[in-house]
């Protein structure tokens, strides 16, 4: 199996290739049984994972995951700042 096709197998499995490249991958798989096996098994794996029900991730689950990662030494930062609805806004009178 050539390195070029090895790099494209994950994109093939996710149906992210153009029709031309997918067709070329199919033709290459006819000549290479190892490539054909990788393409088939990875595509089936991706389809199976996509068919699973989505997990119900609550805010509590989110904090538990973050805490567990921090305990194990990961430096985790949120992409967005904490919500401001937990803060009280006081007016400043002079």
CB of 44 closer than 8 Å to CB of 11: no
- The 10 Å Cβ neighbour count of residue 15 is 10
The residues near 82 (Cβ < 8 Å, ≥ 6 apart) are none
Task: Work out the average pLDDT over 63-90.
Answer: 77
The model's pTM:
0.57
Q: What is the mean pLDDT of the chain?
A: 86
pLDDT band at 88 (very low <50, low <70, confident <90, very high): low
What contacts 48, CB < 8 A, 6 or more positions away? Answer: none
Pick from 34, 26, 30, 46: which is nearest to 2 by CA? 34
Number of other residues whose CB lies within 10 A of the CB of residue 12: 22
pLDDT of residue 80: 65
Q: What is the pLDDT of residue 30?
A: 93
């Amino acid at each position: 199996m050539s390195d070029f096709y090895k790099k494209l197998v994950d994109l093939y499995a996710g149906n992210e290739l153009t029709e031309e490249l997918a067709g070329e991958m199919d033709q290459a798989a006819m000549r290479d049984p190892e490539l054909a096996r990788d393409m088939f098994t990875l595509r089936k794996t991706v389809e199976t994972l996509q068919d699973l029900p989505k997990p119900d991730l609550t805010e509590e689950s989110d904090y538990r995951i973050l805490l567990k990662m921090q305990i194990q030494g990961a430096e985790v930062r949120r992409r967005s700042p904490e919500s401001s609805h937990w803060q009280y806004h006081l007016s400043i009178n002079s």
